[in-house]
Structure 1
């Protein structure tokens, strides 16, 4: 099997799984549904992923590895260029996530998958996300804490948790403010980012 064929098969499985997890949740989606949607046999899933749990994890890793790298690069730039300034740090956290939601190849489905992760109790997935991406949150917590030395660690993590929830809500674009007709998705996302950054900054400072 060539590398290109391996990649295309693996990617088809991930895309099918992402779409089905978005529609039916993790527990409500069977591997048989995934193989049917991806037009592959169960052996291909076992070959590339080994188990449904690993498939779930890889759906997240496919999007979140890149998003996390972008967040950390933007955080480094914010700290280098705007030391002590809270809003560039918040922008580094918020803007890469909203960019994922705009991704033409499955961005909207992945946002619904994130919402499923919040709604469904999946300890294996939560452990995977914590182990693989927990360092990203800790880096942001440290940077925000340095800007707000009067904020206790407990208060800091409460507010980070609220920010993550608000960001997921903004990514899903199911709030009161819908994208107006004639406004491009990118422009609407940029406006959402600006408003959320201002909102979050006020929440952290007060």
Structure 2
């Protein structure tokens, strides 16, 4: 019962922090705001996280650990079942991210947190993300490179950077294409994934830059 209570408190703090970071940013959110939103005292935050910096990191870890496991699992399956094919590799990167973005339990707030991470200069967070999730991009980069051997490393990295940006934009649902009436969220997400994958595959296979 104690362990369950601890989990509940920790999860409440993470949920409150995620909502506030999405709304006010990392620098603009105080621990006092977090404790008020989560209905806990500052001692609970210190007990579970130790510092605001670690709380920020754990907000990302809570979402990204699962997404990373899904991505790497799908990548492994793609390489085993569809060797040499680019589309399944791209799907392994795109589909778990779009599923996270449409998660009813805070997925939308987390996408806004990601946008904050891009907008705010937070070297500590960037280092945390690089240390814990940089290997995912490297694994996908290696798999994609094997499918487009004509690209130089520099060309590949430019295109992967644009790919990541396009995916983040699609996750945020900022675009002109909104879910039509009568179309389920799942169907709309699957269509978004298909269109993005088709777009990125064409970009990756395009001729060399002059």
Scaled to the shorter chain, the TM-score interval is over 0.9
Residue 55 of structure 1, CA deviation: 0.3
CA distance in 2, matches of 1:47, 1:137: 33
Query: 2:181 and 2:129 mapped to 1: Cα distance?
Result: 37
CA-based RMSD of the aligned residues comes to 0.8
Query: Counterparts of 1:53 and 1:98 in 2: how far apart (Å)?
Result: 27
* Aligned pairs (5 A) from 1:50-89: 50-89=50-89
Structure 1 residue 80 displacement after superposition: 0.5
Q: Helix, strand or coil: the match of 1:50?
A: coil
Partners of 1:189 and 1:76 lie apart in 2 by 22
- Deviation track 1:136-192 (CA, whole Å, cap 9, x = no partner) reads 000000000011111111111111111111101101111011111121111111100
- Displaced runs of 4 or more, over 4 A: none
Q: Does 1:93 align with 2:93?
A: yes
* Correspondence 1:101-140 to 2 at 5 A: 101-140=101-140
Q: TM-score, normalised by structure 1?
A: 0.99
Gap regions ≥5 residues in structure 1: none
Q: Distance in 1 between matches of 2:34 and 2:121?
A: 21
Q: For the residues of structure 1 that align with 2:185 and 2:174, how far apart are their CA atoms?
A: 14
Deviation at 1:59, TM superposition (A): 0.3
Q: Deviation per CA, 1:76-124, whole angstroms, max 9, x where unpaired?
A: 0000011000010000000000010111110000011011111111000
What residue in structure 2 maps to residue 205 of structure 1?
Answer: 205
Number of aligned positions between the proteins: 206
Q: Which runs of 5+ in 2 are unaligned?
A: none
CA distance in 2, matches of 1:61, 1:153: 29
Partner of 2:45: 45
Alpha-carbon separation, structure 2, partners of 1:80 and 1:146: 14
1:138-177 paired onto structure 2 within 5 Å: 138-177=138-177
Q: 3-state DSSP class of the match of 1:110?
A: helix
Q: How far, CA to CA, are the matches of 1:95 and 1:195 in structure 2?
A: 12
Q: Return the TM-score normalized by structure 2.
A: 0.97
